[in-house]
Amino acid sequence: MKAVVMAGGEGSRLRPLTLTRPKPMLPVVNRPLLGHILHLLKEHEILDVVITLQYMATQVQDYFGDGRSLGMNIDYAIEESPLGTAGSVKNAHPYVADGEPFLVISGDALTDFDLTALLKYHRGRGALLTMALYHVSDPLDYGVINVREDGRIAQLMEKPSWGEVTSDTVNTGVYVVQPEVLDLIPTGRAVDWSQNVFPEMLTRGETVGVFQLESSGMRDLVRQARPTNIEDIIALVALYRPGPMENIPKYLACKHGREKPEFLHETIVPVVEDTYGVIIYQEQVMQIAQVFAGYSLGEADLLRRAMGKKIKAEMEAQRARFVSGAVERGVAPKQAEFVFDLVDKFAGYGFNKSHSACYAVVAYQTAWLKANHPVEFLAASMSLDLGNTDKLGTFKQEAERMGIRVRPPCVNRSEAMFGVADGEILYALAAIKNVGRQAMEHLVEVRREGGPFRDLFDFARRINPRIVNKRAFENLARAGAFDCLNPNRAQVLAAVDLVLGTANASAQDRESQQVSLFGEESAAASAPALPAVEPWQAMQRLTEEFNAVGFYLSGHPLDDYRTSLKRSGVSTLADLLARNMQAGFVAGTVTAKQERKSKKGNPFAFLSLSDATGQFEVVVFSEVLARSRDLMEPGSSVVIGVEIDRAGEEVKLRAQTIRSVDEVVKDAGEGLKVFIEDPASLEPLKARLGERGKGLVSLVLMGEGGREVELRLKGRYRVTPQIRGAVKSIPGVVEVQEI
């Protein structure tokens, strides 16, 4: 295990102490801050350390040298000019690029955390990043963490009041990191977290994947607030919590000049001027007590704690102290009482600004990464959520919205984790369900050693079937990972026993050290023939892919219906929510159905659906269920009239009507333009278009050198999304467009 100790900052906040020495060299108990960290690492047998340096680097190097005096190995990653946090870690990457996880810790942090236990936990979880947590008896002054049963963080609240505390687990700020994340960041780029951020991106609400700003409610708030600097983001992070949220309309109205701020008293103006008269932070409560009622800052902190705990006797004593102090300063008693009540109300849920600022800086960091390196950022974000198919689907949609292609998984191109190539995201093999990260890392290692796989049996002869088992092979086939070797996924899946038989035989030969007398070419020539199997139709292909990936990756069953649905007044759920609609029509493909009974015995159902923008759930009550049960089977595509209920971040959909997509769009099609590169396609095309209707059909014959000849067929034909899909599946048909 290695550690990266961040020690390159100038320590400007500690000047003049840091005018002659870097911050990590400031003494604490006769030892530099950095020395305490190195001793902690040594206690946990982390002896290989790289220290990142820039400001007064020689002082650190001269003091600690190569680490032999401490019984350690110390390397230094020197920055000629400041690279910022991400750039510094990337600069240190060559020293820890052995594929193993490494520790990241600040060179001026004082902690005695059990690093050995942290590392053991990280290895057992298989995560890309693990946060060290700790249990405390009084969590009010910490970042409180709520952790799900699977170990993932569900919620983080900074310095909550007792009424909001739901956990005694807090964040220590120590992390274990896998090197894959850093591999996606370009080398030598200067990353200034506090200045070089594109707030315009936040203004547009493009915050999917941005720390603290990615929930739908927060994205709406960002759009409304139109932040232009770090102070705006700090305020939004503090406001978007239960309690302070009621002040959002007032804050926005004053920020955009629709209302004038109310400052209560002239002494309070400097305290709340930057937040437009709205008390947001606990520091503001303390400052108001100081300037308005004559508190010392120590007394003001006691007031803040008393207001947070709501102890009646203590509150009465504080009220008397606050009012008398304000009156002594010339404030009328009634006004003093009013200000105390107002401050008390805000203090009960006020956020600590220093913590909100930390969150805002990280939000700016991730926003900068997304704006400047969107492909790498999204790929890294997807790797961090490798097992969360809902988040992966969301990131895939965000990539498409940003014009970034997500290439399907491929055994000859993809890595185990998400990667980047030629400005595109390569889908991770390990993100396919039930394949296992270890198995996919083995697959990739085999490919690196022996080159791309030539066919299915070459794949079988080279992999270890004990690692890449039958279930993994089947889901790789369903997901299309073997398309580069054989595009007929049905045939690949049908050949699983044949392929694994070859794999087992080859593995036995390797173990017994037997070698073919005729070499690999003979083995390839003697490969058994694959079973004759018809390719899956488009819908089955997508269904199998959905089962293996968790969402529709290469396409969606509603793709051929998109234009017709739009003509019929049907929206996506994302569009309805973006327009704050209370009701509307949405289309989706049913992925699951659960029927239950209410306490009164009435049947109802939860219907899980997917559209091109993601997954969603609709509750179907008894009357609609009785009328529409036959339309609700998994794989069916339907149009649902929904009522939308919002409760904070939660959105609930209630079905009012359910109709099949085909019924809704049957009269919506107007015509088709079919692009053909093979004249042999004309006969099957004629068969597909045999039914008369209202639509016009044009054929575009594609010749050499980019020449095209367009012919309009005589008569009119029935044009539906199913017919369009059937035409697209004809060999030699390049594209089908609606006209």
Tally of CB atoms within 10 A around 395: 24
Q: What's the mean pLDDT in 79-83?
A: 73
Measure the CA–CA gap between 513 and 408, rounded to whole angstroms. 37
Contact 276, 268 (CB under 8 A): no
Q: Regarding predicted confidence, which is higher, 31 or 503?
A: 503
Measure the CA–CA gap between 199 and 202, rounded to whole angstroms. 5
Measure the CA–CA gap between 597 and 186, rounded to whole angstroms. 55
Q: Which of 669, 667, 665 is nearest to 587 (CA)?
A: 665
DSSP-derived letter for residue 351 is B
Of 182-186, 306-310, 367-371, minimum mean pLDDT range: 182-186
Fold annotation for 671-738: Alpha-Beta Plaits (3.30.70)
Q: Which of 572, 622, 613 is nearest to 595 (CA)?
A: 622
Q: Regarding predicted confidence, which is higher, 140 or 533?
A: 533
Q: Which two tokens stand for residue 418?
A: 């998400």
Q: Which one of 3.90.1200.10, 3.30.70.100, 2.40.50.140, 2.40.10.480 gives the CATH number of domain 559-665?
A: 2.40.50.140
User: Residue 522 burial (CB < 10 Å; 0-12/13-18/19+)?
Assistant: exposed
Report the DSSP beta bridge partners of residue 155.
146
Which residue has 């050499």 as its token pair?
704
Cis omega (within 30 of 0) for bond into 16: yes
Contact 286, 304 (CB under 8 A): yes
Q: Which two tokens stand for residue 603?
A: 């049947």
Tally of CB atoms within 10 A around 588: 29
Tell me the pLDDT band of 203, cut-offs 50, 70 and 90.
very low
Measure the CA–CA gap between 354 and 144, rounded to whole angstroms. 15
Q: Which CATH class is domain 2-183?
A: alpha beta
Measure the CA–CA gap between 72 and 51, rounded to whole angstroms. 12
Q: At what angle do helices 496-511 and 470-479 cross, to 10 degrees?
A: 130
pLDDT in tens, 216-265: 677 777 778 888 778 888 888 888 876 677 888 888 888 888 888 888 78
DSSP-derived letter for residue 495 is T
pLDDT at position 198: 27
Q: Regarding predicted confidence, which is higher, 653 or 669?
A: 653
pLDDT at position 202: 37
Segment of 387-396, 490-499, 607-616 carrying the highest mean pLDDT: 490-499
Q: Chain-centre distance of CA 687, in angstroms?
A: 46
pLDDT at position 197: 25
Q: Which of 159, 255, 370, 396 is catalytic?
A: 159
Tell me the pLDDT band of 515, cut-offs 50, 70 and 90.
low
Contact 724, 560 (CB under 8 A): yes
In CATH, the architecture of 373-539+545-549 is: Orthogonal Bundle (1.10)
3-state DSSP of 565-606 = HHHCCCECHHHHHHCCCCEEEEEEEEEEEEEEECCCCCEEEE
Tell me the pLDDT band of 154, cut-offs 50, 70 and 90.
very low
The one-letter amino acid at 434: N
pLDDT at position 213: 57
pLDDT at position 263: 82
- Please state, for a pLDDT cut of 90, what percent of the chain lies above it: 20
pLDDT higher than threshold 50 for residue 206: no
Q: Regarding predicted confidence, which is higher, 190 or 333?
A: 333
Tell me the pLDDT band of 376, cut-offs 50, 70 and 90.
very high
Q: Chain-centre distance of CA 338, in angstroms?
A: 45
Query: How would you label 592-611 residue by residue, b for 16+ Cβ within 10 Å and e otherwise?
Result: ebeeeeeeeeeebbebbbbb
pLDDT at position 186: 56
Contact 259, 243 (CB under 8 A): no
Q: Regarding predicted confidence, which is higher, 458 or 192?
A: 458
DSSP H/E element including 32: strand 31-32
pTM of the predicted model as reported, rounded to 2 decimal places: 0.57
Q: Which of 555, 566, 693 is nearest to 639 (CA)?
A: 566
Tell me the average pLDDT of the chain.
79
pLDDT in tens, 463-504: 999 999 999 999 999 999 999 999 999 999 999 999 999 999
Specify whether 310 is catalytic: no
Residue 165 CB partners (closer than 8 Å, separation 6+): 139, 140, 144, 157
pLDDT at position 208: 41
pLDDT at position 490: 94
**Domain spans in the chain, listed from the N-terminal domain onward:** 2-183, 199-241+355-368, 244-350, 373-539+545-549, 559-665, 671-738
